[in-house]
């Protein structure tokens, strides 16, 4: 079946201006100034966007799809995320991973969860491993997991965090080598996502690994780079060596947000094409009193992504074209999906997001199917009401 979206103000994420978009078989067939010649095609679904912003569906590369948390006991384990947690927030592609809890949260469950979300309508990948080192795998080997399991495109670890294994630079170099070779064998990116904690050593061990091995900087992706000004400075230094750096979108009630941290990194010289922002959706969000006692616990979804997009535009003065890159084109390139995800172009998957005047979700198309229309979910997971 053919679908024609007319009068779209297209951000691909590069601003293309007013365009029509033709979709066929889950792919974008054409993006042109006028595709009215297709109006008479049999059984074509024509929808007029009336000048609304149309951009790629968001690519969220750090998501606890099976739930996270657990640091305050069994009752603090956060629930699994559902399809509409993503589509209602404009997300059409996700990378699932584990966190602190590698005991009750297993890679088997993670693998089946991302496959379930794929069946339900969005595009998914996953990372092997978790905070621990030696890291948990399915085949007993990071290289094998990435090379032989379709969904695994990299590995997860943690650095500068009391919940991790205090990995050394030598261990990071070895992990990076295993991920890279697994990726080379299978044609995947083969990268290492590094959860960055708040310890004052920050990325010291990572810089040691780069200085004492042949593993390229682009193999490593530190995330949560917005924690402190000092960590932002380390992230910029790593970015200048050729690595991507990832910033975590904040909860809605955090007035400061992450947009300011990302803007600071850009002012310090970070290459914008190697900067991404993810949601950490499904991860626990504890709050503590002055005595260090946990007094509240919640978790987030991908709702934070567009919130930070608005902050970048309205508070930091970035253009929509620039801000969109951190959620679309850049993460798609990082996970080896450039030209297929994170773009509005012929041959790309028909993952499209329509925004209203305030840059909130209006419509969403995932792989050529309408998932959200007028901010209401049309596509739902098997057990969603």
Q: Please report which confidence band the pLDDT of residue 116 belongs to, taking 50, 70 and 90 as the band edges.
A: very high
Residue 183 φ/ψ, nearest 5 degrees: -70, -40
> SS3 for 48?
strand
- 189 domain-assigned: yes
Distance CA 96, CA 180 (A): 19
Read off the pLDDT of residues 38-54 as tens digits, 9 standing for 90 and up.
Answer: 999 999 999 999 999 99
Cα 250-299-288 angle, rounded to 5 deg: 80
Q: Please report which confidence band the pLDDT of residue 102 belongs to, taking 50, 70 and 90 as the band edges.
A: confident
Average the pLDDT over 178-197 and give the result. 97
Distance CA 284, CA 300 (A): 7
Arithmetic mean of pLDDT over the chain: 94
- 382 domain-assigned: no
Average the pLDDT over 329-347 and give the result. 98
- Whether 280 is catalytic is yes
- Are 150 and 35 part of one and the same domain? no
pLDDT at position 254 is 66
Q: Please report which confidence band the pLDDT of residue 74 belongs to, taking 50, 70 and 90 as the band edges.
A: confident
Number of domains in the chain: 2
- Does the pLDDT value for residue 292 go beyond 70? no
CB 165 within 8 A of CB 131: yes
Catalytic residue, from 60, 145, 246, 280: name it.
Answer: 280
- Are 51 and 65 part of one and the same domain? no
Read off the pLDDT of residues 144-177 as tens digits, 9 standing for 90 and up.
Answer: 999 999 999 999 999 998 888 899 999 999 999 9
Read off the pLDDT of residues 249-260 as tens digits, 9 standing for 90 and up.
Answer: 987 666 668 999
308: containing domain: 57-334
- Are 160 and 217 part of one and the same domain? yes
- Does the pLDDT value for residue 291 go beyond 80? no
Average the pLDDT over 94-110 and give the result. 93
- Are 42 and 179 part of one and the same domain? no
- Are 254 and 277 part of one and the same domain? yes
Q: Please report which confidence band the pLDDT of residue 106 belongs to, taking 50, 70 and 90 as the band edges.
A: very high
Q: Please report which confidence band the pLDDT of residue 299 belongs to, taking 50, 70 and 90 as the band edges.
A: confident
- Are 143 and 18 part of one and the same domain? no
- 383 domain-assigned: no
pTM of the model: 0.96
**What CATH number is attached to the domain comprising 32?**
2.30.40.10
Average the pLDDT over 354-381 and give the result. 98
pLDDT at position 3 is 98
**End-to-end distance of the chain based on CA atoms, in angstroms?**
27
- Does the pLDDT value for residue 87 go beyond 90? yes
pLDDT at position 294 is 67
Query: Within a 10 A sphere around the Cβ of 212, how many other Cβ atoms?
Result: 11
Average the pLDDT over 282-304 and give the result. 77
Read off the pLDDT of residues 226-268 as tens digits, 9 standing for 90 and up.
Answer: 999 999 999 999 999 999 999 999 876 666 689 999 999 999 9
- Does the pLDDT value for residue 100 go beyond 90? no
Average the pLDDT over 129-135 and give the result. 92
- Are 143 and 180 part of one and the same domain? yes
Distance CA 207, CA 343 (A): 33
- Are 232 and 317 part of one and the same domain? yes
- Does the pLDDT value for residue 377 go beyond 80? yes
- 39 domain-assigned: yes
């Amino acid at each position: 079946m053919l679908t024609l979206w007319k009068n779209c103000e297209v951000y691909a994420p590069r601003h293309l201006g007013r365009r029509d978009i033709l979709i066929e078989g889950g792919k974008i067939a054409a993006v042109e100034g006028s595709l009215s010649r297709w109006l008479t095609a049999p059984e074509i679904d024509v929808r007029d966007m009336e000048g609304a912003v149309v951009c790629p569906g968001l690519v969220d590369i750090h998501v606890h799809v099976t739930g996270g948390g657990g640091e305050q006991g069994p009752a603090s384990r956060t629930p699994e995320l559902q399809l509409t947690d993503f589509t209602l927030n404009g997300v059409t592609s996700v990378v699932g991973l584990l966190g602190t809890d590698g005991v009750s949260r297993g890679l088997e469950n993670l693998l089946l969860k991302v496959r379930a979300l794929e069946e339900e309508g969005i595009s998914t990948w996953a990372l092997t491993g978790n905070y621990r080192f030696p890291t948990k795998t399915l085949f007993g080997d990071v290289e094998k997991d990435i090379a032989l399991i379709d969904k695994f495109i990299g590995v997860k670890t943690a650095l500068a965090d009391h919940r991790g294994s205090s990995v050394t630079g030598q261990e990071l170099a070895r992990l990076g080598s295993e991920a890279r070779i697994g990726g080379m064998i299978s044609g995947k990116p083969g990268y290492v996502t590094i959860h960055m904690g708040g310890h004052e050593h920050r990325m010291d061990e990572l810089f040691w690994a780069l200085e004492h091995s042949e593993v390229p900087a682009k193999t490593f992706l530190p995330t949560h780079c917005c924690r402190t000004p000092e960590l932002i400075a380390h992230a910029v230094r790593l970015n200048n060596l050729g690595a991507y750096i990832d910033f975590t979108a904040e909860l809605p009630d955090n007035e400061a947000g992450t947009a300011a941290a990302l803007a600071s990194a850009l002012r310090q010289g970070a290459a914008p094409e190697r900067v991404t922002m993810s949601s950490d959706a499904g991860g626990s969000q504890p709050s503590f009193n002055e005595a260090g006692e946990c007094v509240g616990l919640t978790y987030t979804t991908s709702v934070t992504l567009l919130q930070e997009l608005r902050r970048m535009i309205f508070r930091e003065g970035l253009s929509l074209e620039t801000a969109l890159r951190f959620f679309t084109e850049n993460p798609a390139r990082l996970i080896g999906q450039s030209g297929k995800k994170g773009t509005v172009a012929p041959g790309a998957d028909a993952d499209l997001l329509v925004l209203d005047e305030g840059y909130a979700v209006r419509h969403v198309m995932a792989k050529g199917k309408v998932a959200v229309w007028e901010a209401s979910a049309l596509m739902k997971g098997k057990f969603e009401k």
